[in-house]
Amino acid sequence: MTARDLIFPSFFADSISLGPHWIYDAEELQMLYPEGISEYDRPRSPYHSGKSAGDLTHYGDQALELLRSIAKNGWSIDAWRSDWKQWAETTDAYIDGASKRSLENLQAGLDQPSDSSELSGASRIAPLFAMLDHEDLIHAARAQTAITHGDPQVIDAAEFFSRAAVGIRDGATFDQAFDQATSHPYDSLAAIDWLADARQAAEGDLTENAKRIGLACNISQALPLTLALALTFENDPVMALTTNALLGGDSAARGLPLGLLLGARHGLDAFPESWLRNLNAGEEIDSLLDSLGQSEA
C-alpha cells in the first residue's frame, strides 16, 4: 500500500459529495437522485457556483493545496500558512466562515485562526500521509488544522483521525483502530462518548440515526456520523461514500476523513476506476505524489 491508496479515496469522497453537498432536505435529495448516486455530479446547491462534475468542493480544494505545499516545501507549518493564505486570497471557490475569518486575521498580521467548531479543518489531513508517519504525522495534522480552526475539539479530531488511519493501514479493524485512537488522552475531544454514539447509530437504521445525530458542520454531529458510516460500511467502501453523499448536509467534511479511513482499509483498487479517471484533479494529484516518491506500486 502506498500513500495513493489513502489519499485518492479522500478526494473521491469529497468529489462524490459535491452534487448534493449542503442540501438538508431528504425529499429534495430523493428527487435529485432517485436511483442513488454512483458517479460525480455537478453541484445542486448554490454554494459551489462555477464547479462541474468531477471537481472538488472548497474543502477538497484546501486539501489539494496542502498536497501542493508539501510537494513544494516538504511539511512546513510556515509554508502551509503562506500557501493557504495565497489560496484563500485567489480562489474562485466558496469561502466558508472559518476560512473567511482566518484569512482576515492573517491579512491583519495575526497568527490566529477562527474559533470554528466545524469538522472541516480536521478533514484535510490525507495529504500528510504522503511523507509523514506516526508522531510527526500527528503533530502536523494538529498544526495544519489550527491554521483555520481554533476550537480544540477540531484540533483533537485531526489527531484522532490520524491515529485511526495509521492503525487501520497497519492492519487493525475499524473497531480496533477507533478504540486505540479513543484511548489516547485528548484535552477536549469527547471521543469516548462520540464513538459510543457512532456504534449505537451503526446498529440501527443509519438514515434515521443520522437525522438524530445531525447532518450539520459542527464536530459534535459530523464526527460521530463519520464514524457511524465507517462502522456500518467497513467492508463496502463505495457504499460508504455514496451513502454519506446522499445523507446530505455537510457530506464533504465527513467524506474527506471517511475516504481516508476506507482507503487505509481497502486501498485504491476498491473504488471505481471511473472515479479516478473522472476526478478533474486526478492527474495533478498523481504528479504531486510522484514528486514525493509515492508513485503507484
Residue-range domain boundaries for the chain: 3-44+55-291
Average pLDDT value for residue range 111-135: 94
Residue 1's pLDDT is 84
Percent residues over pLDDT 90 in the chain: 96
Name the percent of the chain in helix, strand, coil, to the closest 5.
65, 0, 30
Per DSSP, the three-state class of 149 is strand
CATH superfamily to which 3-44+55-291 belongs = ADP-ribosylation/Crystallin J1 (1.10.4080.10)
- Choose among 246, 257, 233, 153: nearest CA to 207: 246
Residues 6+ apart with CB under 8 A from 102: 88, 112, 113, 114, 147, 148, 149
Q: Is 295's pLDDT higher than 70?
A: no
pLDDT in tens, 168-223: 999 999 999 999 999 999 999 999 999 999 999 999 899 999 999 999 999 999 99
Residues 6+ apart with CB under 8 A from 53: 18, 19, 39, 40, 41, 42, 278
Q: What separation in angstroms does the CA of 47 have from each of 57, 61, 95, 118, 244?
A: 9, 14, 9, 17, 18
- Check residue 215 and report its DSSP letter: -
Residue 297's pLDDT is 40
Q: What separation in angstroms does the CA of 245 have from each of 7, 69, 116, 124?
A: 18, 28, 23, 17
